[in-house]
Amino acid sequence: MSSIGYLLCGEAQSEGIAKSSLQQLMRSIDAFSNRALKILTEDASDDGMALGPFCARVLLENSCAALVGRIDAFRILYLSEFQAQPQYERGKRAKSAFSWFGDVIPEEKHGGDLWSVDHDLSKISRALFSRYIEHVCWQPAVERMLDYVSSKGSDANLQEIMLLSSETYVNQSKGQSQQLYSTLSKGVHWEFFNRALLFDEVTVKNAIRDTCLLVGHLGLTSHFIPTAYASLKPDIALDAYLSFRKELP
């Protein structure tokens, strides 16, 4: 069974809202990753082709939500408490709800001085792939992770990790996340009006595999961010990554 939920959500030591929220995300990540892996490794079926994009998109979104919550704990604390309020309505869109565009993909303009004294605090994005989180979290974490992994031998499943670069990590991860989100969304919402565009087995399985690889190395790297909540020790994080990686064909 998949261990990706543990890799992404870590292991909180203290009881509280953040721990229970991450445990909820872990259950969802594991449930849908197991379904996605089954579709990936078995012969194609109508159900698999129909449900594969949905399972992969839940895996992608929940994985990113877990990473946001571990890097910026206030966000997951707020969302958990907000949804616990009696006036919370499932059928009504909340302006402060978790959002792919805003929480994962930043709403920020490119260019300009990152540290300008003219930046308002409210305009400084704390999205998972923002320029600020890239600078203070992801870049140094990738460097630490690569140093650690390079000392662990030549396992074939680590070779693709060693190709990562701290300088390009966020741009590549953000670009791949956006591409996968768009592709999987089309599979979820069935936006096609031309039968020739319907997803075939190769498209669905490639999307599932790419999603698994992406969230896998994001999860591993996150445990090298010193301030991240519920982080695993490097050896435990690497073991969890390799365990999950070996499940992928």
Q: DSSP labels for the chain?
A: ---HHHHHH----S-SHHHHHHHHHHHHHHHHHHHHHHHHHSPP-HHHHHHHHHHHHHHHHHHHHHHHHHHSHHHHHHHHHHHHSTT--TTS--TTS--IIIIIB----SSS-TT-TT--GGGS--STT-HHHIIIIIHHHHHHHHHHHHTS---GGGTTGGG--TTTHHHHHHHHHHHHHHHHHHHHHT--SSGGGS--HHHHHHHHHHHHHHHHHHHHHHTT-TT-TTPPPHHHHHHHHHHHHTT--
State which residues form the domain around 176.
4-85+98-104+126-245
Examine residue 109 and state whether it is found in any structural domain, yes or no: no
109 pLDDT more than 90: no
> 195: pLDDT confidence band, cut at 50, 70 and 90?
low
Residue 93 lies in a domain: no
pLDDT at residue 199, as a whole number: 82
Question: Is 110 contained in some domain?
Answer: no
Q: Given a cut of 80, is residue 192 above it in pLDDT? A: no
- Give the pLDDT band (50/70/90) at residue 56: very high
The reply to whether 55 falls in a domain is yes
Provide the domain count of the chain.
Answer: 1
Flag whether pLDDT at 215 surpasses 90. Answer: yes
pLDDT of residue 191: 62
Q: What is the mean pLDDT of residues 92-115?
A: 88
pLDDT band at 200; cut points 50, 70, 90? confident
Residue 197 — pLDDT band, cuts 50, 70, 90?
A: low
In a domain, 192, yes or no: yes
